[in-house]
């Protein structure tokens, strides 16, 4: 790989001092964090492996223009932890990991950058398997595949391609479960649903909702994209500033995380929050409690958006589209079980979900321990 490259499991002393990184890793349960840099291609990436008790860590690669390196690291840590719980609660035999690339996905991408990143993924020998995420595409995964086999979501030859249709079906199924728990029936017909985000998952979700008879309000920071999608599906565009104040029955976050916080929750008018975005709660317990106190049912994000993981997990085992779609529909039952458990045990829904995931991790951990990856070509 051309240019000056670095690959390390250690942060600089400056970052360690400011972030107390090892204390953070231990408190969140992470096994490994890897920093990747290639000066020639402009690659700056963070790979976080959270837990491999159930199998190799699988999680997408996100590309975003983070405001700081610390913000990128924080995102990687939270997202990778969410992937562990997502796999555990959905019954997938994979661990949790995530990667973030620092840069603007609209202007900074190149084949060379993603191939350089692919070589970094390859050095982990299968402890981490990557996939598409926010800011990356099937084409990007195909570039990564030129350098490593540890990538899913590529097109053709057994690849599953874009996972967003499966993710959206899972979110819709989870939303139907939350509707049943709230209003006694699982149809969204006649309900007002505010969808935040106009990406691939949101696009397919809006299609499900409008077909079901919901009245959909749509927004995104890229307003023209949202307007085009709204026109296509018969939804109503609203400005990003109105996303938390528009009267609705369901609020569906499908963009970036931490949008349920001290400032936004008091403005919500909905009865249900259910969407495809990861890490929607800025402070998991505090803001889940705030939602409960306002009688707003929160469908845990990593549960309802686990269809994408099911999709790429199937690719690892041998892709079966019909099986994957059935699995995504089963998110209805998984979500309902969590909501019932929360009610019966007087828990927050996120607490019930975490408890179910942790129970599975504890039962399996003694069988597998830490996944050490595939043997190298020299067998060592």
For every residue of the chain, which 3-state class applies, written as one string?
CCCCEEEECCCCHHHHHHHCHHHHHHHHCCCEEEEEEECCCCEEEEEEEEECCCCCEECCEEEECCCCHHHHHHHHHHHHHHHHHHHHHHCCCCEEEEEEEECCCCCCCCHHHHHHHHHHHHCCCCCEEECECCCCCHHHHHHHHCCCCCECCCCCCCCCCCCHHHHHHHHHHHHHHHHHHHHCCCCCCCCEEEEECCCHHHHHHHHHHHHHCCEEEEECCCHHHHHHHHHHHCCEECCHHHCCCCCCCEEEECCCCCCECCCCHHHCCCCEECCCCCCCECCHHHHHHHHHHCCCEECCHHHHCCHHHHHHHHHHHCCCHHHHHHHHHCHHHHHHHHHHHHHHHCCCHHHHHHHHHHHHHHHHHHHHCCCCCCCCCCCC
Query: Taking the domain 164-345, which CATH number applies?
Result: 3.40.50.720
Ranges in the chain annotated CATH 3.40.50.720: 164-345
Single pTM value for the model: 0.80
Ranges in the chain annotated CATH 3.40.50.10860: 5-145
| CATH T-level fold of 5-145 | Rossmann fold (3.40.50)
> What is residue 58's predicted lDDT score, i.e. its pLDDT?
94
User: What is the set of active-site residues?
Assistant: 98
One digit per residue, the tens of pLDDT, for the chain of length 380 reads 444 333 333 333 334 445 578 888 888 989 999 999 999 999 999 999 999 999 999 999 999 999 999 999 999 999 999 899 999 999 999 999 999 999 999 999 999 999 999 999 999 999 999 998 889 998 999 999 999 999 987 866 556 667 899 999 999 999 999 999 999 999 999 999 999 999 999 999 999 999 999 999 999 999 999 999 999 999 999 999 999 999 999 999 999 888 999 999 999 999 999 999 988 999 999 999 999 999 999 999 999 999 988 988 888 778 888 999 999 999 999 999 999 999 999 999 999 999 999 999 988 876 766 777 764 433 33
């Amino acid at each position: 790989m051309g240019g000056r490259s670095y690959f390390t499991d250690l942060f600089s002393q400056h970052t360690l001092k400011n972030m107390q990184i090892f204390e953070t890793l231990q408190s969140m349960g992470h096994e490994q964090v890897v920093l990747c840099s290639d000066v020639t291609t402009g690659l700056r990436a963070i790979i976080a492996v959270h837990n491999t008790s159930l199998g190799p860590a699988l999680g997408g690669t996100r590309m975003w223009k983070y405001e700081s390196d610390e913000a990128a690291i924080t995102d990687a840590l939270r997202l990778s932890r969410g992937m562990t719980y997502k796999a555990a609660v959905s019954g997938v035999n994979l661990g949790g990991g995530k990667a973030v690339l620092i840069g603007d996905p609209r202007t900074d991408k190149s084949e060379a950058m993603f191939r350089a990143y692919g070589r970094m993924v390859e050095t982990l020998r299968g402890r981490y398997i990557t996939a598409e995420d926010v800011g990356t595409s099937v084409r990007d995964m195909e570039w990564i595949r030129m350098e490593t086999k540890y990538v899913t979501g590529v097109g053709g030859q057994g690849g599953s391609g874009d996972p967003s249709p499966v993710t959206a079906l899972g979110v819709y199924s989870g939303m139907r479960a939350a509707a049943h728990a709230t209003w006694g029936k699982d149809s969204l017909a006649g309900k007002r649903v505010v969808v935040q985000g106009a990406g691939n998952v949101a696009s397919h979700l809006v299609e499900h909702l409008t077909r079901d008879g919901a009245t959909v309000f749509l927004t995104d920071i890229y307003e023209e994209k949202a307007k085009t999608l709204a026109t296509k599906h018969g939804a109503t565009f609203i400005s990003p500033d109105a996303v938390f104040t528009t009267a609705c029955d369901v609020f569906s976050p499908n963009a970036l995380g931490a949008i349920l916080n001290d400032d936004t929750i008091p403005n919500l008018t909905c009865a249900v929050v259910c969407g495809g975005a990861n890490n929607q709660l800025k402070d998991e317990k505090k803001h889940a409690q705030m939602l409960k106190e306002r009688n707003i049912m929160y469908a845990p994000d990593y549960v309802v958006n686990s269809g994408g993981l099911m999709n790429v997990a199937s690719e690892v085992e041998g892709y079966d589209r019909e099986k994957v779609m059935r699995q995504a529909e089963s998110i209805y039952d998984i979500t309902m079980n969590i909501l019932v458990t929360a009610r019966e045990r007087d828990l927050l829904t996120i607490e019930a979900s975490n408890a179910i995931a942790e129970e599975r991790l504890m039962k399996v951990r003694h069988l597998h321990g830490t996944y050490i990856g595939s043997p190298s070509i020299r067998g060592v």
